[in-house]
Amino acid sequence: MKNSAIILAAGRSTRMKEDKIFLELLGKPVLYHSVKPFEEHKNIEEIIIVTRAENRKRIESIIKQYDLKKIRNVIEGGETRQDSAYEGVKAANKTEIILIHNAANPLIKEKEITNLLKAIEKYGAVAIGYPAKDTIKSTDSKNFATKTLNRKNLWQMQTPQGMRYEIALQAFEQAYKDNFTGTDDASLAERLGYKVKLVECSRENIKITYPEDLKFAEAILKSRK
């Protein structure tokens, strides 16, 4: 099977002082660490990076500097994450399995990518994450608790998420026909009736959102050496 990875790097990083994909982790940009596991994975044939127009040259410089050979294209994203993911899906034609990964998740492991690919071959649509460990409550508009949710049935989702290409294309196209915006890629497949298999990953696979996340990520990378 031909497997393609889409790396979404078009976010605005509103919670950080600068674009987080260019912040350094152990002397290398977050984007490099996010791409590296896909670059080194024997079953990933191509990588497509989706970014903002103003970041294209900077990303192309990183690709050259670190000799990232599997990146076939750097394309411009859309207004929302879903728009950018759809642009990536359309750019990855003649592929059979597609993985969609946030560039702000720099700690995914090659073994976890392998597990994801195997699950997609079996189930068609797969999301990666881990069971919730904390109590989670729903609230009303004034932040009063309305319900305590059963955490045994709750997962915290991360990326990559993946699907067979025909499922991904159908899911995105139908979402736009219905003017639907999902909270993640898997939700687009769910609403069409596809059962999305959840595959557990390490809790180290965090998304860089706040400045303190960088310190946590650096500590994890140091521990892996």
Quote the pLDDT of residue 203. Answer: 96
**Single-letter amino acid code for the residue at 169:** L
- Reported as a single tens digit per residue, the pLDDT across 138-153 is 999 999 999 999 999 9
Q: What is the mean predicted confidence (pLDDT) over 52-58?
A: 95
Asked whether the predicted pLDDT for residue 96 surpasses 80, the reply is yes
**Single-letter amino acid code for the residue at 203:** R
* CA nearest neighbour of 62 among 54, 71, 75: 71
Tokens 């979402």 belong to residue:
175
* CA nearest neighbour of 38 among 108, 85, 126, 127: 108
Under a CB-based contact definition with an 8 Å cutoff, are residues 133 and 178 in contact?
no
What is the count of structural domains for the chain? Answer: 1
Under a CB-based contact definition with an 8 Å cutoff, are residues 199 and 127 in contact?
yes
- Reported as a single tens digit per residue, the pLDDT across 113-147 is 999 999 999 999 999 999 999 999 999 999 999 99
Q: What is the mean predicted confidence (pLDDT) over 149-170?
A: 96
Q: What CATH number has the domain bearing residue 48?
A: 3.90.550.10
**Mean pLDDT taken over the chain:** 95
Quote the pLDDT of residue 120. Answer: 98
What domain range is 92 assigned to? 3-224
